[in-house]
């Protein structure tokens, strides 16, 4: 995915702006115009990385679940053999 190859700070600006927009307005009312404005990137750039709002939303879901799973697994002591 092309999004994986941009600078991490730019990725985080887009991710954080999109998460905030979707959290505040829900999927239906979320605006890609507001996302790019908050992220400080061009709209064409957003659509280069994500073909539409749904693809961006699905990316955010996968990304968030991966982060939660990673943080959850890190809490386990894998050397402990007794549940």
Q: Write the pLDDT tens digit of every residue in 17-34.
A: 999 999 999 999 999 999
> Closest Cα partner for 46 from 9, 24, 13, 8?
13
Question: Residue 12's domain spans which residues?
Answer: 7-74
What are the tens digits of pLDDT across the range 40-70? 999 999 999 999 999 999 999 999 999 998 8
Q: How many domains does the chain have?
A: 1
pLDDT category at 80 given cuts 50, 70, 90 is: confident
Q: Report the SS3 class of residue 38.
A: helix
pTM beyond 0.85: no
CATH number of the domain that residue 58 is part of: 1.10.10.60
| Cβ atoms of 60 and 47 closer than 8 Å | no
Indicate whether 38 belongs to any domain: yes
């Amino acid at each position: 995915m092309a999004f994986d190859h941009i600078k991490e700070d730019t990725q985080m600006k887009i991710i954080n702006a999109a998460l905030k927009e979707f959290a505040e307005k829900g999927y239906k009312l979320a605006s890609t115009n507001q996302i790019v404005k908050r992220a400080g990137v061009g709209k064409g750039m957003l659509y280069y990385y994500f073909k539409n709002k749904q693809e961006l939303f699905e990316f955010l879901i996968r990304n968030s679940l991966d982060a939660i799973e990673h943080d959850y697994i890190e809490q386990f002591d894998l050397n402990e053999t007794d549940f």
